[in-house]
Each structure stands twice: as C-alpha cells, then as structure tokens.
C-alpha cells in the first residue's frame, strides 16, 4: 500500500494564515509591521532562490522583508558591522544571515554577533543552549517545521524510535533535541547517524520515524526502511533534465513507508513558514 503524503505546502499555508493574523494584531499594538532582514553574501544561485522565497513569504503575511546584499569578498569586519547595525535598528525584529558563507568568513563568529533576541534562525549559541535545556526561544526552522508536520498529521512520537541521518546543527542535532523534549512531538528514543556510524542501513531499518538530512541524493532506499515507518526527507538536489529529488528514493520508499514527505512540497515550505512564525515571535517578545 502506498504511503500517505505529508503535504508541507498545504500545512505551510495554514501556518502563514496564522502568522498573517498575528502580524495584523502586532501592527495594531506596535504601530508598525514586524521586520525581518536577510543578509546575503555573494551570488550563490541556490542562496538567491532561498532568499527570494523568504522575501515572498514575508510579503504574503504582512512582514516587512528586507535583503542586505554584500559582495562575496566582503571583509569579516564589514559583515560584523552590518549585523551590529541591524541589532541596533528598532524596526528590525529578526536577522538571518544566509548560509553558507564564503570560506574566508568565520561562520561561527558571524552568527555569534547576531542579537540572540533577533536570531530567528536559532543558530546563536544562546538559543542553541536554550533548546538543549528544553527552554527554547527560537528553534532552527527546518526541525521546527518537521515537528509541526508530525504533530499536524497525528504521527505519534512518544516512545517511538526516530533515526536521524545527519548531525548538522541546522537540522540533525536540533531535530534530535526536539524529539527528546517532553510533550507533544517529543518523548522519542533518538539515534543520530553520521559519517562515522557503522551499518547505517541496519540502524535505519530499526526506525519508526526516519529523518533523512544527510545531503546525498536518493541514499535511502526501500531496503533501508522498516515497513510502516514514517519517512521525512530534508534533502533537495537537482535532477538531471530538471526537477528536484531528495535524500530518499521516493518512488520505491513510498511503497514501504506509512507516510512520507515529497520533494519538493514537503519540508521546504514548512521551513519558510517557521521562519515567518519565528519572526512574529521575535517581534512580540520585544514588545514585552
């Protein structure tokens, strides 16, 4: 029996409607719209697409979305000065530095400059620490979107074995922490697989929930997946001849899984929706 499709695009529209209502309420209280500024360094085509999608999302929900474009050879000090000016700008509620950065820039140092109360990507060490102790302020958008997808679709996580492929701070580590938290969308038993893990297919076959964020196209095949497992595909890769594919071999895995996210239309739209939600949260927190 074919898997149920977890439609991130449809759920993202629901979240956007909620954010739009919240943005309108915020404007009445604050006398201005919430503001998000994205800092884009260089001309990476994929990053430009992501930033355009974020800007379009802001416009759709009543958030003022600005983009600061800097050349790829920008000095680290100029980038830091740019972020500091945004930290001090009262009209900016959320700041996002689009990753990856050119190799001459220290990503960790750059992210640490962002005001943690404006860090809507959730990558600042203070926000990472709050997530680790189960007192989250801003959660990285992709893991947050995945949890929303699981909860909204009635997928039980309590007591389930979740296997996460990939240990990045952006997805893998943060996702593991969310699934370990107590309450709805949490209370799971979590295994994180990475480049030094042994027999990853066997570990993955033990999972009730598989979250593939390993960055290798169609790595996860049908024989990696336990019948009836839920499969979340975070990967996004171009196909030869056009189109996109994920980290999961969708057609064959969909015949084994009970539920699966498509690429595109699964995790991606939810990531943008969670960024908008985090921006509204940042704006409201600054009012208190």
Q: Within its chain, how far is the Cα of 52 from the centroid?
A: 16
Instruction: Tell me the C-alpha to C-alpha distance, in Å, between residue 97 and each of 40, 249, 282.
Output: 6, 31, 16
Q: Which residues are catalytic?
A: 54, 98, 121
Please list, in sequence order, all residues whose beta carbon lies within 8 angstroms of the beta carbon of residue 151, skipping any fewer than 6 positions away: 184, 185
Torsion angles phi and psi, residue 65, rounded to 5:
-105, 120
Helix ranges (DSSP H) in 88-180: 107-113, 125-132, 141-152, 172-180
CB 227 within 8 A of CB 182: no
Residue with tokens 């990967």: 235
Could you give the CA distance from residue 284 to residue 28 in angstroms, rounded to a whole number? Answer: 12
């Amino acid at each position: 029996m074919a898997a149920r499709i977890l439609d991130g695009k449809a759920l993202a529209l629901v979240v956007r409607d909620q954010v739009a209502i919240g943005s309108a309420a915020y404007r009445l209280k604050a006398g201005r719209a919430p503001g998000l500024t994205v800092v884009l360094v260089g001309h990476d085509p994929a990053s430009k697409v992501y930033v355009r999608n974020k800007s379009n999302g802001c416009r759709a929900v009543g958030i003022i979305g600005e983009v600061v474009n800097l050349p790829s050879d920008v000095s680290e000090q100029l980038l830091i000065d740019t972020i500091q000016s945004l930290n001090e700008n009262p009209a900016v509620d959320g700041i996002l530095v689009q990753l990856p950065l050119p190799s001459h820039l220290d990503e960790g140092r750059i992210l640490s400059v962002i005001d943690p109360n404006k860090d809507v990507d959730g990558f600042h060490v203070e926000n990472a620490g709050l997530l680790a102790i189960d007192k989250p302020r801003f959660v990285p958008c992709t893991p947050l979107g995945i949890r929303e997808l699981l909860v909204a679709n009635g997928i039980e996580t309590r007591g389930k074995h979740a296997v996460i492929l990939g240990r990045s701070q952006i997805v893998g580590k943060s996702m593991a922490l969310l699934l370990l938290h107590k309450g709805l969308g949490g209370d799971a038993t979590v295994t994180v697989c990475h480049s030094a893990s042994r027999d990853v297919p066997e570990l993955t076959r033990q999972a009730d929930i598989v979250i593939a964020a390993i960055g290798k196209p169609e790595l996860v095949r049908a024989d990696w997946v336990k019948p009836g497992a839920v499969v979340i595909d975070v990967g996004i890769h171009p196909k030869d001849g056009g189109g996109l594919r994920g980290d999961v071999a969708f057609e064959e895995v969909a015949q084994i899984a009970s539920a699966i996210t498509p690429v595109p239309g699964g995790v991606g739209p939810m990531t943008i929706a969670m960024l908008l939600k985090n921006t509204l949260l940042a704006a409201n927190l600054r009012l208190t």
